Amino acid sequence: MSGSPGFTLREARPRDAEAVLAMVRGLAAYEKLEHEVVASAQDYYGALATRRIQGLIAEIDGEAVGVCLWYETFSTFAGRAGIWVEDVFVAPEHRRHGIGLAFFRALARRAVAEGHAWMEWNVLDWNEPAIAFYRRIGAVGREEWTDQRLSGDALKALAG
């Protein structure tokens, strides 16, 4: 898979687990969420090997400089699958060279080819550069929806 002059995109493989972890940590630092990263390279190795998560790696001269991770979802309303984009990260020194746009274009092509109903993702409300980029590519915010999460002790209590 190609990118544009200066970088290439390729499918993420299990052996990319260390690079994926490093980029997820970079994303967490940017989002001020380092404390939430508890994943290990082994976790990414297993998830990529079983295709629980899929990904693209952006490379420059063989070095990973960006990652896009996603998984398939299913909409009971649409009766079709969708793509949930979990993470997109480009190393700061490689931003503004089209890598993010290349990630979203490649994933959009995949979504259309595979008959997915849509692509969805979250963005932190303070991340104005990302929101502006998403608007430029045609994404629409879903203001009426609020994410919910059940984890930790609350998850265990409900399960018990």
Which positions are catalytic?
134
Question: How would you write the chain as a 3-class SS string?
Answer: CCCECCEEEEECCHHHHHHHHHHHHHHHHHCCCHHHCCCCHHHHHHHHHCCCCEEEEEEECCEEEEEEEEEEEEECCCCEEEEEEEEEEECHHHCCCCHHHHHHHHHHHHHHHCCCCCEECCCCCCCHHHHHHHHHCCCCCCCCCCCCCCCHHHHHHHHC
Quote the Cα angle for 36-67-151, to 5°. Answer: 25
Tokens 């629409």 — which residue? 140
